[in-house]
Amino acid sequence: MRKYVSASDKRILMPAEFEVHHFTYGPLTPLLAYGISVAGSLLGLQCTARARAVSGLRERCWWLAGGSVALGGTAIWVMHFVGMLGFSVSGADLAYEVPLTLFSALVAVVFVGAGLFLVGFGLPATAGGLLAGGGVATMHYTGMAAMNLNAETSYDPGLFLLSILIAVVAATAALFFATRTGGWISAAGASLVMGAAVSGMHYTGMFALDVHSVSDGPVEGADPTQLLVPLTATVSLVTAILCVIVGGSASTRERRKEAEFMEGLERDMGMSDH
């Protein structure tokens, strides 16, 4: 039974009476978010591999742009908001500001894309990782700022900084793999690692959130389900289309270059064994 105390013209729920839930639907949302992140990472790596295989500047830019949408839009942004579907605070209402939510998607795609373009044209992964990682962290906390909650919140400084560090490391690892993976098998292995890193950053940032009190005041914004489900479905559809394009677009020359890359990798691994 809830206990309320009067505070001007609204009721405030005492801190001991509410709970923060990160897994409202059990393992469904974290597992779904992880799977989406892995799929987006795999597609982003394959787009980057295609960019490395082509010689034309325009073609390379198009493939890197596709990789930016896959990594920034699907592996990171969609993963974040699918995970957020499992977030709730008992006794509190939650809504999202639509413009800021959409802006967070733009941040993810632009910053991750900038990092991907840097490494795609020869710069080291660490340079692109700092830029992309900063973008991932900015996307996360912009997405959190888009969330309207009738409660007082703050962030634990230690976990806040740790989440940013994980974002930079995850982005650097993503760009490192993007320039070194060739076939689907190696890319799939890298995607599993990247999905875990992105999910780890997200939930570290979520556990950094402290909710101090909940009020009965009105919450303005769009309903989470009505907003996030169509948005994530749209981006997922774009991802599926990109998957079809990637799967059917490799030319004979690109397949030959990929085969040569894999043969060279296997040869190098064989030499290192001896």
Tally of CB atoms within 10 A around 241? 11
165's CB contacts (< 8 A; 6+ apart) are: none
Note the pLDDT tens digit of each residue in 101-147. Answer: 989 999 999 998 888 888 877 778 788 888 888 888 999 999 999 98
Q: Indicate the pLDDT class of residue 252, thresholds 50, 70 and 90.
A: very low
How many whole angstroms separate alpha carbon 108 and alpha carbon 68? Answer: 9
Q: 3-state SS of 161-211?
A: HHHHHHHHHHHHHHHHHHCCCCCHHHHHHHHHHHHHHHHHHHHHHHHCEEE
pLDDT in tens, 6-36: 334 444 444 444 688 888 888 898 998 999 8
pLDDT at residue 3 in the model: 35
What percent of the chain shows pLDDT beyond 90?
Answer: 16
| Count of alpha carbons within 13 angstroms of residue 74, beta-carbon side | 31
Residue 1 has pLDDT above 50, yes or no: no
Whether 159 has a pLDDT exceeding 90, the answer reads: yes
d(CA 145, CA 151): 13
Tokens 């990798």 sit on residue: 265
Could you write out the three-class secondary structure of 18-79?
CCEECCCCCCHHHHHHHHHHHHHHHHHHHHHHHHHHCCCHHHHHHHHHHHHHHHHHHHHHHH
Beta-bridge partner residues of 213: 152
> Looking at residue 258, what is its pLDDT?
57
Q: pTM for this structure?
A: 0.78
Distances (CA, A) of 193 to 40, 132, 170, 203: 12, 17, 9, 16
